[in-house]
């Protein structure tokens, strides 16, 4: 078997190749901007070049004079035409550009040009002249004019600053303490697919082709903004060219393009340039952290305080608040946390792969390594001493926690015992060698989900679910689950996803998709099985009189535990039917009675994580080797090993790929990624893929993913913990630890670049 297809261990599914693989390697997978639309017009936005102030005047005449231009829309045409977006649900921001002369961030859309060709729309957008009344913007932390607010006062999304025991007393009494500050930078998702909207009207009905992680939520939100009935709006997003959170919330662009398409009476496609996408989409905001930790001499943590600050826009209290996770990570004697948001003249940030955990766990795990050094303990043993099966805040048990198994398996595969713990002791010619490790953690979420199944007598199955194939393999996994439950081969299963006209599924965020979709598929299959089983036990035939509980579906037949069986085709005859169709609604334990109707209304009620009787998290451990050139200080990562336990693994191939991608994202966070901000202009500087660094093929060498068997039926009926956001948590801290081990330099501000190591 190739590395890509690990042999399934206990509680793991087969590494089926993706069912859409052929479409993807032949260029036939239809991404939204590929949709062939007749009579298409092209849209390009003109955006603000100041971050704060007002539009005095906007001259669109030069744009209108460009041959091929059909229309130019500004606030003059559009004010009052659209309902304002509702931040906090499916909308990325409450900012409603083209409704106002106010400018709230650099890159705010100011005009939309519609033209016969892409080239003409671009030329015209560049010809628009704007006269601004500019004010001095506040770009980020420390800038004059920012406003700092406690998260729990500003945001409904943020529930509480978790705490336990008397931190101050415990910290004061601790014999070993650390008191340090850490920071993480602004990052942009930069999926390789450009953002795009294609709006097509048919009478009073609207179809929008746009990459989306939340087609049902967008349908409802877009209908709200356009003052339409949701039933008249359809979002189509069958294939998504990478998302990472960027396509979760809908931006203001979608409704504006749809409105313009109606106005010009033509379908309109707007593909946003890479540069504009950095300003108009969401991003991971920069964060700061203050960690204080106290421990006794044998390594037990007695006091842990984590205070975090996050940047957001002026109007929207976006917050990730990762203290909910860091405060529950280890068996701390006492916990004190606080999260604040800092409002600046910026566009509203948004979810980016493991939104809370990436920055907050980075700070915690870097601090854990510092404490291990202060205690003169092995960092793995330090975690073992503080490992726990009961979280310290609510004293609730973890539904499962295989953290130390992950550490032990990864340490073994990595060869951790070969490490000489002394700083700067390992070297290979011109290269200093450092080794480090850190914990990965991500809350296990699940949300209501619906699915429609249509099984025919030949064993052909059509599975419909409004979830989203963002690269996770969810189409394949849904088919695998149905194949297993109904005993039909994979090649007889057709899966439709990515369309708001399908039964709704939750937003593909928070790593909910596999758990939620599979739970709904299980429920739908159970209903089909029930119908078939009750028919075959009462009809004449080999299974007459059998106890339904003893029946199963395998290899195209209904089988009984006593060895009797009947082909599925005959069971259909017994039922006197040709096709069985089932629509199933799944709602997780503890969901409100309205959970499914809320799903139809575009809202995903997520359950899991710290909510419920038991707390639910997936864990992992990552080990890295770094090599740092003694002359140039270039940092390389020749080796990385991660071991992860995430309940049932549906498909070892897609699971490994996601975790691998996550680990590389972690390397990227540590060494590559940062969106630079011009503090005078509150403007992103590196708005392209040349200057926004992400790893290329040559940056990645040996990478090993270990899937650790774990069974946890408390999390959801599928026993699945999401893992798409697990792999990139902790990696940056492991690299920072390894850099310290190699050089003795503790880097607390990401990313770690050679200039940071030169002094």
Partner 1 sequence: MSSNPASPPNGVSRRGFLSGSATLAVATPFVAHAAEQAAPGAAAKDPHAKVAVSFNINGKPYQLGLDARTSLLDALRDHAGLTGTKKGCDHGQCGACSVLVDGRRVLSCMSFAVMQEGAEITTIEGLASTDGALHPMQQAFVDHDAFQCGYCTPGQIMSAVGCVQEGHAENDDDIREYMSGNLCRCAAYPNIVAAIRQARDDMKEG
Annotated catalytic sites, by residue?
725
Task: Kindly give the pairing relationship between strand 557-560 and strand 287-295.
Answer: unpaired
The item of partner 1, ligand FES, none sharing an interface with residue 332, based on CB under 5 to 8 Å by kind, is none
Q: How far is the CB of 471 from ligand FES (least distance, A)?
A: 5
The item of ligand FES, partner 1, none sharing an interface with residue 33, based on CB under 5 to 8 Å by kind, is partner 1
Exposed/middle/buried for residue 28 (C-beta within 10 Å: 0-12, 13-18, 19+):
exposed
Largest CA distance in the chain: 85
What x-and-dash track marks residues 206-235 binding ligand FES by CB under 6 A? ------------------------------
Residues 649-668 that bind ligand FES (CB under 6 A): none
Is residue 358 a contact partner of residue 352, using CB atoms and an 8 Å limit? yes
- Which residue shows structure tokens 């926690």? 401
Is residue 440 a contact partner of residue 731, using CB atoms and an 8 Å limit? yes
- Cα gap 715→586, rounded to integer Å: 14
Bin 730: left if φ > 0, else alpha if -120 < ψ < 50, else beta: left
Q: How far is the CB of 19 from partner 1 (least distance, A)?
A: 11
The item of ligand FES, partner 1, none sharing an interface with residue 759, based on CB under 5 to 8 Å by kind, is none
SS3 528: helix
| Closest to ligand FES by CB, 377 or 655 | 655
Q: In degrees rounded to 5, what are phi and psi of residue 423?
A: -60, 135
Determine if 424 is a binding residue for ligand FES (CB under 6 A): no
| Closest to ligand FES by CB, 4 or 754 | 4
Alpha-carbon dihedral angle through residues 214, 215, 216, 220, given to the nearest 10 degrees: 100
Residues 6+ apart with CB under 8 A from 161: 150, 151, 152, 323, 337, 338, 339
Determine if 471 is a binding residue for ligand FES (CB under 6 A): yes
Q: How far is the CB of 269 from partner 1 (least distance, A)?
A: 9
The item of ligand FES, partner 1, none sharing an interface with residue 27, based on CB under 5 to 8 Å by kind, is partner 1
Residues 6+ apart with CB under 8 A from 587: 448, 595, 596
Q: How far is the CB of 545 from ligand FES (least distance, A)?
A: 53
The item of partner 1, ligand FES, none sharing an interface with residue 141, based on CB under 5 to 8 Å by kind, is none
Q: H or E element: which one contains 462? A: strand 461-464
Q: How far is the CB of 610 from partner 1 (least distance, A)?
A: 29
| Closest to ligand FES by CB, 194 or 557 | 194
List the structure tokens of 298.
């044998």
- Which residue shows structure tokens 């009073």? 204
Task: Say how far residue 175 (Cα) sits from the centre of its chain.
Answer: 40
Q: How far is the CB of 603 from ligand FES (least distance, A)?
A: 28
Exposed/middle/buried for residue 501 (C-beta within 10 Å: 0-12, 13-18, 19+):
middle
Q: How far is the CB of 2 from ligand FES (least distance, A)?
A: 17
Q: How far is the CB of 721 from ligand FES (least distance, A)?
A: 23
The item of partner 1, ligand FES, none sharing an interface with residue 473, based on CB under 5 to 8 Å by kind, is partner 1
- Which residue shows structure tokens 């998290």? 617
The item of partner 1, ligand FES, none sharing an interface with residue 161, based on CB under 5 to 8 Å by kind, is none
**Residue 666, Cβ neighbours under 10 Å: how many?**
30
- Cα gap 231→4, rounded to integer Å: 42
The item of ligand FES, partner 1, none sharing an interface with residue 126, based on CB under 5 to 8 Å by kind, is none
Residues of 668-680 as b/e, b for ≥16 C-beta within 10 angstroms?
Answer: bbbbbbbbebeee
| Closest to partner 1 by CB, 164 or 723 | 723
How many contiguous H segments (helices) and E segments (strands) does the chain have?
Answer: 20, 32
| Closest to partner 1 by CB, 121 or 444 | 121
Determine if the peptide bond prior to 223 is cis (ω within 30°). no
Sole binder of ligand FES in the list 1, 38, 192, 758 (CB under 6 A): 192
| Closest to partner 1 by CB, 18 or 529 | 18
DSSP 8-state assignment for residue 549: G
| Closest to ligand FES by CB, 623 or 665 | 665
Q: How far is the CB of 21 from partner 1 (least distance, A)?
A: 4
| Closest to partner 1 by CB, 549 or 696 | 696
- Cα gap 617→164, rounded to integer Å: 20
Q: How far is the CB of 12 from partner 1 (least distance, A)?
A: 16
| Closest to ligand FES by CB, 192 or 698 | 192
- Cα gap 312→286, rounded to integer Å: 9
Sole binder of ligand FES in the list 242, 460, 638, 709 (CB under 6 A): 242
Determine if 245 is a binding residue for ligand FES (CB under 6 A): no
| Closest to ligand FES by CB, 242 or 695 | 242
Bin 647: left if φ > 0, else alpha if -120 < ψ < 50, else beta: left
- Which residue shows structure tokens 């989306």? 212
Residues 6+ apart with CB under 8 A from 513: 467, 468, 472, 474, 505, 506, 722, 724
The item of ligand FES, partner 1, none sharing an interface with residue 660, based on CB under 5 to 8 Å by kind, is partner 1
Task: Kindly give the pairing relationship between strand 702-707 and strand 635-645.
Answer: parallel
* Closest CA relative to residue 56, chosen from 81, 83, 75: 75
Interface residues toward ligand FES, by CB under 6 A: 192, 242, 471
């Amino acid at each position: 078997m190739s590395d890509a297809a690990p042999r399934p261990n206990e509680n793991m599914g087969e590494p089926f190749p993706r069912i859409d693989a052929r479409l993807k390697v032949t260029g036939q997978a239809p991404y939204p901007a590929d949709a062939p639309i007749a009579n298409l017009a092209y849209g390009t936005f003109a955006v603000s070049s100041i971050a704060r102030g007002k539009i005095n005047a906007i001259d669109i005449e030069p744009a209108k004079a460009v041959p091929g231009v059909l229309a130019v829309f500004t606030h003059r045409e559009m004010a009052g035409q659209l309902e304002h977006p509702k931040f906090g649900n499916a909308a990325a921001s409450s900012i409603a550009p083209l409704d106002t002369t106010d400018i709230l961030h650099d890159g705010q859309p100011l005009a939309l040009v519609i033209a016969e060709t892409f080239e003409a729309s671009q030329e015209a957008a560049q010809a628009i002249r704007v006269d601004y009344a500019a004010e001095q913007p506040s770009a980020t932390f420390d800038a004059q004019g920012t406003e700092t607010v406690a998260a729990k006062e500003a945001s409904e999304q943020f529930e509480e600053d978790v705490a336990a025991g008397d931190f101050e007393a415990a910290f004061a009494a601790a014999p070993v303490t650390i008191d340090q500050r850490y920071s993480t930078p602004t990052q942009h998702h930069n999926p390789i697919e450009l953002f795009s909207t294609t709006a097509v009207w048919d009478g009073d009905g609207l179809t929008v082709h746009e990459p989306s992680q939340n087609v049902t939520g967008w349908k409802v939100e877009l209908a709200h903004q356009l003052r339409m009935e949701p039933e008249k709006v359809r979002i189509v997003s069958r294939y998504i060219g990478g998302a990472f959170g960027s396509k979760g919330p809908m931006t203001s662009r979608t409704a504006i393009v749809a409105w313009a398409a109606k106005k010009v009476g033509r379908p309109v496609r707007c593909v946003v340039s890479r540069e504009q996408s950095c300003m108009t989409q969401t991003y991971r905001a920069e964060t700061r952290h203050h960690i204080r930790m106290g421990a006794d001499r044998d390594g037990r943590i007695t006091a842990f305080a984590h205070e975090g600050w996050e940047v957001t826009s002026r109007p929207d209290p976006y917050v990730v608040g990762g203290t909910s996770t860091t405060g529950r990570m280890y068996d701390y004697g006492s916990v004190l946390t606080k999260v604040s948001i800092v409002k600046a003249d910026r566009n509203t940030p948004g979810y980016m792969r493991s939104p809370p955990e990436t920055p907050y766990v980075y700070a915690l795990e870097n601090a854990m390594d510092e404490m291990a050094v202060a205690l003169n303990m092995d960092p793995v043993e330090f975690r073992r001493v503080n490992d726990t099966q009961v979280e310290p805040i609510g004293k609730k048990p973890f539904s499962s926690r295989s953290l130390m198994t992950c550490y032990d398996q990864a340490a073994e595969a990595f060869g951790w015992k070969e490490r000489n713990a002394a700083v700067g002791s390992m070297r290979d010619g011109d290269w200093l060698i450092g080794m480090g490790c850190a914990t990965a953690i991500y809350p296990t979420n699940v949300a209501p989900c619906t699915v429609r199944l249509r099984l025919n007598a030949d064993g052909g199955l059509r599975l419909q679910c409004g979830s989203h194939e963002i690269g996770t393999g969810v189409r394949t996994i849904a088919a695998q689950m149905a194949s297993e439950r109904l005993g039909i081969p994979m090649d007889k299963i057709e899966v439709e996803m990515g369309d708001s006209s399908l039964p709704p599924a939750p937003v593909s965020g928070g790593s909910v998709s596999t758990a939620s979709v599979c739970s709904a598929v299980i429920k739908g299959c159970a209903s089909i099985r029930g119908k078939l089983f009750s028919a075959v036990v009462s009809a004449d035939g080999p299974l007459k009189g059998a106890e339904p509980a003893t029946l199963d579906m395998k290899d195209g037949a209904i089988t009984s535990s006593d060895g009797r069986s009947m082909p599925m085709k005959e069971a259909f005859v017994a039922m006197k039917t040709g096709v069985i169709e089932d629509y199933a609604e799944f709602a997780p334990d503890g969901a409100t009675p309205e959970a499914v109707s809320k799903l139809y209304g575009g809202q995903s009620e997520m359950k899991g994580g710290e909510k419920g009787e038991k707390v639910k998290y997936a864990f992992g451990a990552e080990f890295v080797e770094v090599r740092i050139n003694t002359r140039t200080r270039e940092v390389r990562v020749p080796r990385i090993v991660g071991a992860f336990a995430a309940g049932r693994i549906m498909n070892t191939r897609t699971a490994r790929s996601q975790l691998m991608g996550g680990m590389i994202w972690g390397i990227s966070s540590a060494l590559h990624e940062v969106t630079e901000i011009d503090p005078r202009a509150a403007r992103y500087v590196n708005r392209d893929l040349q200057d926004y660094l992400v790893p290329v093929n040559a940056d990645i060498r040996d990478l090993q993913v270990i899937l650790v068997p774990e069974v946890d039926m408390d999390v959801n009926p599928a026993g699945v913990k999401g893992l798409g956001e697990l792999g990139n948590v902790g990696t940056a801290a492991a690299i920072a630890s390894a850099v310290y081990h190699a050089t003795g330099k503790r880097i607390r501000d990401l990313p770690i670049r050679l200039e940071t190591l030169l002094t």
